[in-house]
Amino acid sequence: MRVIVPSGRAGRARAGRLLCAALCAVGAAAHAATATPFAAPQVQSAPSSAGSLVRVTVALIVVLAAVLAAAWLARRVRAVGGAGNPSLEVLAQLPLGTRERAVLMRVGERQLLIGVAPGNVRTLYVFETTAMPMNVSSAPTALADAQRPTFKSMLLRSLGK
């Protein structure tokens, strides 16, 4: 088959319209072959509001479950990672005010008394390795036996009071 395209703008426009009409006729013939003759056209019904509400609710529950699972997993991973560092340990805390506290920490072989306030952390006193016992639960009996000063008196002395 040989197609002759006429020259000029009007000829090309007419050829385009003929090509479009031929493609539409082929598409209509293909649709007529697949359609059932004398059948009523299918009517698409609007989606029910109850079905979409259920879908949205299920999606919300899935997202909330994923967020909770991620938070639980992050907490477990952090707990496992923190247990592997025995050189830094908080031994005791004492609240001094609404937002201030004194913290007794063990760092390696030393124990540090640290003052913590909003935007401010200071070392108040550094205990040598033999100055205080490593076990805080036996600290009151060990301090009474050795006649050492109490935590409160050392804190007040370090603050200059």
Residue 96 inside a domain? The answer is: yes
- Residue range 49-89, pLDDT digits in tens: 778 889 999 999 999 999 999 999 998 887 666 555 667 88
- Residue range 108-136, pLDDT digits in tens: 888 999 999 999 999 999 987 655 454 55
Q: How many domains does the chain have?
A: 2
Residue 22 inside a domain? The answer is: yes
Residue 57 inside a domain? The answer is: no
pLDDT value, residue 130 = 55
**Residue ranges making up the domain that contains 4:** 1-34
User: Collapsing DSSP states into helix, strand and coil, what is residue 103?
Assistant: strand
Q: For residue 102, which of 154, 142, 140 has the smallest C-alpha distance?
A: 154
Residue 136 inside a domain? The answer is: yes
Total Cβ atoms within 10 A of residue 101: 14
Strand order in the sheet with 110-117: 88-95, 101-107, 110-117, 120-127
Residue 51 inside a domain? The answer is: no
